[in-house]
């Protein structure tokens, strides 16, 4: 009796996930027909292991051999796509597991589903500035930006990029009066360049949430900070339409009617 008539769905999931090379092989054949040599290169397993894997795939009707090459059937491609999406979700969940509580999970409309394809960048002991560096790289690749509630931990390291946008792009910054005044004190020359530009609006808002929001040319981002130290623990960024709409709506909600900040720490108060 063929494997397809005796395997349960969980049996097949277990079979695929028990060895990484099986998912890699099925993905490769779903992409295009592959020779045995190509599959050996993709999977980095022995010839005997690959032979057993291909036999199991053929029994399940996932692959077939044609003209000396192996290709995924329509069923095999269906399985490969689903397995890849499942593993991607688990990878995202694992990345978010320890920092999910630092994100706006209680805010209406915010769901993990809209971030299923997100890039998740978390701070680690060996590189505590990874989230800030990710934020800066997003600024580097954009010509327009809206940044709300990012705080000193994000804005200070990114002053050079914000000055570039003041000249070569457009940017809107909304943060608390305390944050803006601190920037004036510590980065007076750069802040003056930013606030004097007609392509920049800097506004203050007294009641921002403990999260940062940003809209770039092609992506949106949310930052989460340690509530005690104020350090950035995580940034998630994505290009999904649902994520873009949600983050843009949050930026709109905190734009308010506060006037643009003039040069000097007392402006806009």
The alpha carbon torsion through 148, 150, 155, 157 (nearest 10 deg) reads -140
- Percentage of the chain exceeding pLDDT 70: 93
Between CA 182 and CA 36 the distance in angstroms is 63
All structural domains of the chain with their residue ranges: 3-86, 98-253
Give the tens place of pLDDT for each residue, 38-51. 999 999 999 999 99
Contact at 8 Å (CB) between 42 and 34? yes
Edge-to-edge strand ranges of the sheet holding 232-238: 119-122, 232-238, 220-225, 211-215, 144-148, 170-175, 200-204
Give me the mean pLDDT over the 146-164 stretch. Answer: 93
- Fold (topology level) of 3-86: Arc Repressor Mutant, subunit A (1.10.10)
Q: What's the pTM?
A: 0.79
Give the tens place of pLDDT for each residue, 69-89. 999 999 999 999 999 999 888
Residue at token pair 């203050």: 204
**Which one has a higher pLDDT value, 267 or 48?**
48
Closest CA to 218 of 202, 204, 238, 247: 238
Same fold, 3-86 and 98-253: no
Between CA 184 and CA 186 the distance in angstroms is 6
Beta partners for 211?
Answer: 224
C-alpha triplet 26, 12, 34: angle, nearest 5°: 15
Q: Per CATH, the architecture of 98-253 is what?
A: 2-Layer Sandwich (3.30)
């Amino acid at each position: 009796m063929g494997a397809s008539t005796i395997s349960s769905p969980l049996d097949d999931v277990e079979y695929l996930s028990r060895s990484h090379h099986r998912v890699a092989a099925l993905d490769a054949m779903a992409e295009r027909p592959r020779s045995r040599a190509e599959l050996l290169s993709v999977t980095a397993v022995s010839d005997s292991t690959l032979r057993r894997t291909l036999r199991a795939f053929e029994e399940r009707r996932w692959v077939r051999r044609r003209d000396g090459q192996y290709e995924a059937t329509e069923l095999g491609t269906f399985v490969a796509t689903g397995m890849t999406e499942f593993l991607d979700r688990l990878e995202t969940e694992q990345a978010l597991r320890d920092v999910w509580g630092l994100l706006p999970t209680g805010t209406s409309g915010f769901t993990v589903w809209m971030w299923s394809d997100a890039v998740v960048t978390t701070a680690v002991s060996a590189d505590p500035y990874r989230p800030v560096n990710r934020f800066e790289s997003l600024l580097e690749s954009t010509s327009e930006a809206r940044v709300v509630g990012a705080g000193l931990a994000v804005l200070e390291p990114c002053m050079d990029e914000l000055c570039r946008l003041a000249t070569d792009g457009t940017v809107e910054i909304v943060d608390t009066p305390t944050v803006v005044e601190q920037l004036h004190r510590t980065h007076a020359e750069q802040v003056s360049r930013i606030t004097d530009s007609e392509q920049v609006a800097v506004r203050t808002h007294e009641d921002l949430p403990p999260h940062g929001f940003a809209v770039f040319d092609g992506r949106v981002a949310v930052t989460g900070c340690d509530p005690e130290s104020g350090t950035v623990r995580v940034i998630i960024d994505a290009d999904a339409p649902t994520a873009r709409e949600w983050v843009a709506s949050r930026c709109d909600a905190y734009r308010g009617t506060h006037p643009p900040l003039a040069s000097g720490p007392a402006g806009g108060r």
